[in-house]
């Protein structure tokens, strides 16, 4: 696809799993809705499905989107087992292919005004025996937004993730703090350290929310420039 035809898009990754990556992705979609009529979120690989055969994160992204698309485009790989993608895919008798995902993302960028692509797990989570999330991000060639789960150990996890993103030659468009541990000691000081040491701007810090609310979380974020 030519760059002129492609809408703005970002790849959202995280320092780990279960750190608020989907909430941040949905909040970014709510921010984008202020500027664009057709915004869509995608999670190309999702592991773990509900009774209706839909992944919970995918369901949240669809609720935050204004553009309705075929499931083959916003969730090409819906894997039943809630496990690492390479294991979940093997259990489902399938293999994750980067080109299938890239084709779906290209189609979304052709029909949307703005796109958020949420990765699965952390940046280097295995997708196959030889490929990982970094390979997917590299194939899509999108600027990365890193969601940092604010808890003990986040400084190391965030810096390692930023180095891994840079090693793949990808721009880090910004990072988002996610207060997953409401009892974290010296949280503000940790955020200040991240501001000083990560090579990208902070796009905001999402406070701990008893009930995840993307519209409320969006009030704490800004879009990358």
Q: Are the CB atoms for 37 and 192 separated by under 8 Å?
A: no
- 21 is known as an active-site residue: no
12-24 in b/e form (b: 16+ CB < 10 A) is bbbbbeebbbbbb
Q: Among residues 43, 62, 86, 151, which one is catalytic?
A: 43
What is the CB neighbour count within 10 angstroms for residue 174?
21
Alpha helices in the chain, H assignment, sequence order:
21-32, 56-64, 71-74, 85-91, 98-111, 133-140, 154-167, 187-197, 214-218
Q: List residues with catalytic annotation.
A: 43
């Amino acid at each position: 696809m030519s760059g002129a035809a492609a809408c703005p898009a970002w790849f959202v990754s995280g320092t780990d799993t279960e750190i608020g990556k989907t909430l941040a992705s949905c909040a970014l979609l709510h921010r984008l809705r202020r500027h664009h009529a057709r915004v869509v979120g995608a999670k190309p690989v999702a592991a773990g499905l509900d009774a209706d055969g839909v992944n919970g994160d995918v369901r949240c992204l669809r609720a935050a989107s204004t553009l309705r698309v075929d499931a083959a485009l916003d969730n090409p790989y819906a894997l039943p087992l809630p496990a690492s993608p390479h294991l979940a895919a093997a259990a489902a008798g399938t293999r994750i292919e980067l080109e299938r995902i890239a084709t779906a993302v290209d189609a979304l960028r052709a029909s949307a005004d703005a796109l958020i692509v949420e990765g699965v797990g952390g940046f280097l989570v295995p997708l196959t025996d030889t490929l990982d999330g970094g390979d997917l991000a590299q194939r899509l060639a999108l600027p990365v937004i890193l969601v940092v789960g604010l808890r003990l150990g986040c400084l190391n996890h965030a810096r390692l993730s930023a180095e891994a993103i840079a090693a793949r030659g990808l721009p880090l468009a910004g990072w988002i703090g996610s207060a997953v541990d409401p009892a974290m000691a010296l949280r503000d000081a940790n955020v200040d350290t991240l501001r000083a040491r990560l090579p990208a701007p902070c796009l905001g810090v999402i406070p701990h929310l008893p009930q995840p609310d993307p519209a409320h979380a969006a009030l704490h974020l800004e879009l990358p420039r």
